[in-house]
Structure 1
Amino acid sequence: MIRFAVFAGLVSCVGTSGGARADTPPPRPTMWYWHNWTDHAGISHMTKCPVRDFDLKTMSKPAGPQWQDRLKNDHGQVVFTVQPAHWNGAWHPDPKVQWIIPLRGTWYVTAMDGHKVVMGPGDVSLGEDQLSRKDQQGHIGHDAGNVGDGPVELIVVQTDETPTTDRPCRFR
């Protein structure tokens, strides 16, 4: 079974300060991701969602502890992608339930409800619009493309999760 940990570098913890006791861990962090999900009518939406279920532990001894929120998953695949300058993906659903993290450059995702989100390095998006249906304009899933004149580098973690409807922020 593959389990995904929060990517290093997306969460930073500040050490104790002042009069805080050395054995008192810092408060649990909150990270945010954008969830591109589909409702029962087949319309996709973008919702900002929290990730809060962190445990402070080592990933491999003797490394020091770091905050981790492991999302259960049976199978997955990591894909690095470089979108050429001025790339546009047109309207399409994600091929799988997938986490998308920009490494360099800026890109956007526009849901069928018209909500557009612009993301850059450090932002996280969950693509789960596989169950969307064509609307009257012929749009399905989402429209995505690069912002600016350069390429965009992304890491995509595709999962074998079953797509859902009416479940924004299902991973917390």
Structure 2
Amino acid sequence: MVHYVTAIVVMLMVLEVGGSSLLSQAAAPGTSGDGEPQPSNFTYTQLWADEKGETHVQQCKMTGFSLQNYSAYQQFIRDDFGGNATKFVFTELSVGLTQPLHSTPAVQFVITLSGSWYINTTDATYHAFQAGDVLFQDNTKDSPAAKVPQHFSGAVGDVPCQQFILQINRKPEVNNLCPF
């Protein structure tokens, strides 16, 4: 139930700011390269494509936050992700689900609510996601790469994996590691 509440809060934040905003993890502030305070441990994983269309995984630290009054108190906010939300999807991967090689239907964030799932890239990297993990992926069929970038995915473990997906109207890019 707590995971559903978290996803609903994410949706409300997106609707409130008119863009695609993600909840940040509680963190002591650090600073950006220009001296601005930043959350010190807001991480996400990126599934990215190179110019040939091969897919890869990169661990990223999100930056670009600003301190703003939000819900009556100052909070770290990042609400510009190069596009606006176009679709919200709740999905459940059933136990044992394995998906063949495919590209993502749109540039999107995937937030794991419960359970676990994996991606396996064309460079043979395997990455598993747990509840609370955030993935950004822009390996769509419309990629400017030489071939359509794809990946495998599926459920891990003996319980279904529930996810919240937020699609945005951003153009897919190649060789753009950790854009946020």
TM over 0.5: yes
Determine helix, strand or coil for the equivalent of 2:110. Answer: strand
Q: Which of 44, 48, 68 matches 2:55?
A: 44
State the secondary structure of the residue aligned to 2:73.
Answer: coil
Please tell me whether the aligned partners of residues 99 and 152 of structure 2 are also in contact (alpha carbons under 8 angstroms). yes
Quick check: 1:68 aligned with 2:77? yes
CA distance in structure 2 between the aligned counterparts of 1:111 and 1:157, rounded to whole angstroms: 21
Larger displacement relative to structure 2 (72-81 or 28-37): 72-81
| Cα offset, 1:89, TM superposition | 1.7
Between structures 1 and 2, the one with greater helix share: 2
Q: Does 1:3 pair with 2:3?
A: no
Name the CA distance, whole Å, in 1 between partners of 2:178 and 2:132.
18
Runs of 4+ in 1 over 6 A off after TM superposition: none
Residue 126 (1) aligns with residue 136 (2): yes
Judge conservation of contact 2:49–2:56 (CA < 8 Å) in 1: yes
Matched AA of 1:165: V
Structure with bigger gyration radius:
1
Residue 145 (structure 2) pairs with residue 145 (structure 1): no
CA shift for structure 1 position 28: 2.1
**Which residue does 1:56 correspond to in 2?**
67
Contact 1:5 1:71 (C-alpha < 8 Å) held by counterparts: yes
**2:123 — aligned with what?**
113
Maintained 8 Å contact 2:85/2:166: no
**RMSD between superposed Cα atoms in Å:** 2.0
Q: Compute the displacement of 1:127 (Å).
A: 1.4
TM-score (norm 2): 0.76
The one-letter amino acid paired with 1:2 is G
**SS in structure 1 at match of 2:39:** coil
2: CA distance between counterparts of 1:86 and 1:28?
39
Paired residue for 1:79? 89
SS at match of 1:161: coil
Per-residue Cα deviation, 1:52-91 (whole angstroms, up to 9, x for no partner): 222222323xx32221111242342111111111112221
- Structure 2: state its 5+ residue gaps: 1-16, 30-36
What CA distance in whole angstroms lies between the structure 1 residues aligned with 2:43 and 2:168?
A: 19
Amino acid aligned to 1:11: Q
Aligned partners of 2:136, 2:57: CA distance in 1, in Å? 9
User: Normalising to structure 1: TM-score of the pair?
Assistant: 0.79
Matched with 1:163 is 172
Over the matched positions of the two proteins, sequence identity in percent amounts to 25
Provide structure 1 residue ranges, at least 5 long, that are not aligned to the other structure: 16-26, 135-139
CA contact (8 A) 1:11 1:67 kept: no
